[in-house]
Each structure stands twice: as structure tokens, then as C-alpha cells.
Structure 1
Amino acid sequence: MTPSASASESEDPQAAQKRAVLQAYNRFWEEQVKAYSRGDATGTEVAKYAAAQALSATKQDLSELRSQGIVTTGEPTHATSVDKLQADKKVPYAKLTDCLDSTGWKFVYAESQKPVDMPTNRLVRYVTEVEAEKWGNQWKIVTVTPQQRSC
């Protein structure tokens, strides 16, 4: 006899929704990495996975970096958990915590590809608090708040 749901899903009825919000968060970062590597969100799906403060902050960052001729190479890594999920709300809501590791994500000058000088005391692995909402069938990241503490 083959069970219709995995053991973990029967133990956690929200497992599918948690996977969906984590997938949206991962896609949000994949699209941000594309945008930051070219200094522009045009041609990416950032707006499909981000809204509100998260989208406006990304656009603002890109504008500031572009004005300085800065792009990125590489990409950050993540260890993300869903801390709260309210799938039954009118607008479903999730709160995530991410340990973002930016060690492999470098800021460089677009023309020369020379690295941008960064503060030696900056955190490269830090906690980020994230909020997401489900708009229609799509989870969207609405806030991304880096914390001043390492993980």
C-alpha cells in the first residue's frame, strides 16, 4: 500500500504551503542575483516574487549601485526556515528567518571588475527576517529586514 501523502506532510498539514513560500523566497533571490549582476531588474522576474518594501528596496539598491558603476558577481547562500504560516487568512502570510551568507557574493566595479572596498568589520553571515504574502496563487516577498547579528 502506497501512502497518498508523505509522513512529514501528514504530521505537518502546512508542509506544502511552507515548501511553496520557501520556493518563492529562493526564486526571489535567484532573480535578485540576476538583477544585481547586471545592475538592472529589467529582464528578470524580481517583480513576480517581490512586492511592497522588498521590491522598492531592491529597485532603490540597484539604482544606487548603478549610479556608482557597481554590479555583483557570485551569489549568496541561505539557510531559511518558515517560523510562522497563516495560510487561512484573507491574505495568507508567512514569516521566515534566513541565515544569509554573502561570502560568495562580491561587489565589483562593472567596467574594471575590480572589487569594491568593503568595511572589514561588516557581517558576511547574518540573520534576515522576511515576511511573505500570498497574492492570488503567488507567494511574494514583501519585507526583507537584515539584522545586525551574525548566524
Structure 2
Amino acid sequence: MRTRQSRRWEIYLLSLALAVGAAGCGTEPEAANRPLTGRAAAPATHSAEAEKEAEKAALAAYSGYLDASRAASARSDPSHPALARFLADPLLTRVRMAILDAKEHGAMRTGKLVSDPTVVSVDLTARPPTVEIQDCLDASGYRLVYAKDRKAVPGTRGGRYLATATAARFPDGRWLINGGAAHQDQPC
């Protein structure tokens, strides 16, 4: 039973390290937390410069997401304000729930997570405009530990694996990470 819970923690918390889900009750107005849709979503055509700007903004949001999730996980704080600055639902809610689950079990994340993201596609004509990101995460130095004594939670592991994320442009112009997955079965 203990191994089953450890596996569950591992799945939840490693998802923090990349795309694993969620949004939730942020401080932004409700309209600002929904992707653009309809005619306002994107111009009919876009330039290579617009694509490069979207890539840059999406990668900045992704980097902010990883930093915010690491900070929130290290403090066992599912309400950490930086999460809502870089994440949107459904990923924001999933990340918050994973942090809350770890906190309820007396665990937290510690160490360093190494990221090497690349943009694999940009679709500025989509509703909402999206950027797909692929990353090779190195979580070998990023551990799930008990907060009380900093001992590793049994059954958790690190390693290098593929992660994917989706960034969407929201009505206020921000690019937020709203989807993603950690593919621990796919080493990189």
C-alpha cells in the first residue's frame, strides 16, 4: 500500500516539473483566465516575426511555470501566487492539487530540476493561438522528501524523461501554460 501511495505522489509531483495540469481560483478576472476565441483570437495571417514572438513568450511562460512550481513545491504552498502568473486551467488546478496532496502526506520537493525546452509548433490561427513545447527534463536531482526529516519518499525516482506542454494566448495578451504531461516512460 505504501508503494502505491508513493507512486501516486511521484506521478502527481513529477507532473509539477512539467505539464501536468491545472488552473483554478486566481486573482485575475474570469475573462482573463480563458483563452482567446472567435475573431479576436488571431489575425488571419501571421508573419515569421509574430511566430518568433509567440515562441519567445511561450518559452518564458514555460520557464516561469517550472520556477513557480518548484518554489510552490519547496514550500508546500498550493496557493503560491506565482503559479497563477504562468499557469491556467486545467494545468493550474492539477499542479495545485499535486502540491496539496504532497503537503497532506508531509512531503515536499527539493533539489534541482534541469530543463531544455524547444518549441515544436506554433499555431497563431488556432482558437486560441497555441504553442506546443517539448522538453527533456532531468529530475535526477529533484526529489520528493518528507518535510519533517528530508528523507526521500520511498518509491520515488528521478531520471531524464520527455515532457510536453501547451501554451495558449489569453485575452489580456499573456501566454500561459494550460496543458502538459510528463512522459516518464519516454527517456530522453
Bin of the TM-score, shorter chain as denominator length: 0.7 to 0.9
Which residue type is aligned with residue 178 of structure 2? Answer: V
- SS state of the match for residue 148, structure 2? coil
Q: Which residue of structure 1 aligns with residue 175 of structure 2?
A: 139
> Does the 8 A contact of 2:116 with 2:137 survive in 1?
yes
Q: Which residue of structure 1 aligns with residue 144 of structure 2?
A: 107
> Does the 8 A contact of 1:34 with 1:44 survive in 2?
no
Alignment of 1:1-150 (within 5 A): 12-13=48-49, 14-119=51-156, 122=157, 124-135=159-170, 136-147=172-183, 148-150=185-187
1:129 CA drift (Å): 1.5
- SS state of the match for residue 28, structure 1? helix
Structure number with greater CO (CA < 8 Å, separation at least 6) is: 2
**Percent identity (aligned):** 23
- 5+ residue gaps, structure 1: 1-10
Q: Which residue of structure 1 aligns with residue 9 of structure 2?
A: none
Which protein is richer in helix relative to its size?
2
> Does the 8 A contact of 2:139 with 2:160 survive in 1?
yes
1:25 CA drift (Å): 0.2
Which protein is richer in strand relative to its size?
1
CA distance in 1, matches of 2:180, 2:103: 21
> Does the 8 A contact of 2:91 with 2:177 survive in 1?
yes
Q: CA RMSD in A?
A: 1.8
- SS state of the match for residue 71, structure 1? strand
CA distance in 2, matches of 1:80, 1:134: 18
Spell out, residue by residue over 1:61-100, the C-alpha distance to the aligned partner (whole angstroms, 9 max, x if none).
Answer: 1121011100111231111111111124342111111111
1:123 CA drift (Å): 5.8
Q: Which residue of structure 2 aligns with residue 7 of structure 1?
A: none
- 5+ residue gaps, structure 2: 1-46
Q: Which residue of structure 2 aligns with residue 8 of structure 1?
A: none
CA distance in 2, matches of 1:63, 1:141: 20
Which residue type is aligned with residue 179 of structure 2? Answer: T
- The list of structure 1 runs, each at least 4 consecutive aligned residues, that deviate by more than 6 angstroms after superposition, is none
CA distance in 2, matches of 1:42, 1:59: 7
> Does the 8 A contact of 1:123 with 1:150 survive in 2?
no
1:21 CA drift (Å): 0.5
- SS state of the match for residue 73, structure 2? helix
CA distance in 2, matches of 1:44, 1:110: 21
CA distance in 1, matches of 2:136, 2:177: 16
The number of residue pairs the alignment matches comes to 139
